[in-house]
Homo-oligomer: A and B are copies of this chain.
Amino acid sequence: MSGARLVRDQGVTAPGGFRAVGVAAGIKASGAADMALVFNEGPDLTAAGVVTRNQVKAAPVLWTQQVLTTGRLRAVVLNSGGANACTGPPGFADAHATAEAVADALSQWGTETGAVEVAVCSTGLIGDRLPMPQVLAGVTHLVQEMAGGLVGGEDAARAIMTTDTVPKQVALHHSPESGRNWTVGAMAKGAGMLAPSLATMLCVITTDAVADAAALHRALTAAAAATFDRLDVDGCCSTNDTVLLLASGASEIAPDQDELDAAVLAVCDDLCAQLQADAEGVTKRVTVAVTGADSDAEALFTARLIARDNLVKTALFGSDPNWGRVLAAVGMAPFPIDPDRVTVSFNGSTVFAAGLPDPGARSVDLSGADVEVRVDLARGTGTAAIRTTDLSHGYVDENSAYSS
Contact = CB atoms under 8 A, between A and B. Distances in A.
Tell me the number of copies of this protein: 2
Contacts of A393: 393, 396
B401 A320 contact: yes
A126 B312 CA distance: 13
B339 A126 contact: no
A376 to B, nearest CB: 15
A340 B355 CA distance: 51
Given A237-B328, A399-B314, A403-B315, A56 B337 contact: yes
A315 B88 contact: no
A235 interface: yes
Nearest to A339: B56
Given A56-B328, A310-B310, A393-B393, A127 B357 contact: yes
A325 interface: yes
A280 to B, nearest CB: 10
Nearest to A321: B403
A180 interface: no
A239 B56 contact: no
B402 A320 contact: yes
Contacts of A320: 400-404
Contacts of A317: 396, 400
Contact of A86 (B89, B127, B319, B339): B339
B127 A361 contact: yes
Contacts of A192: 311
A237 B329 CA distance: 7
Contacts of A333: 55
B322 A402 contact: yes
A85 interface: yes
A215 interface: no
A391 interface: yes
Contacts of A90: 356
B392 A327 contact: no
B404 A396 contact: no
Contacts of A402: 315, 318, 320, 322
Contacts of A399: 310-311, 314-315, 318
A402 B311 CA distance: 10
Given A314-B400, A315-B399, A404-B318, A236 B329 contact: yes
A26 interface: no
A322 B396 contact: no
A88 B318 contact: no
Interface-centre pick from A128, A236, A354 (highest chain B CB count, 10 A): A236
A144 interface: no
Interface string A248-277: 000000000000000000000000000000
Contacts of A83: 324
Nearest to A337: B55
The 5 closest A-B pairs by CB, nearest first: A126-B324, A318-B400, A56-B331, A314-B399, A88-B355
9 contacts: A55-B336, A57-B339, A126-B324, A238-B328, A311-B399, A314-B396, A318-B404, A320-B404, A322-B403
Interface of A: 53-57, 83, 85-90, 125-128, 192-193, 234-239, 308-311, 314-315, 317-325, 327-333, 336-337, 339-340, 352, 354-357, 361-362, 391-393, 395-396, 399-404
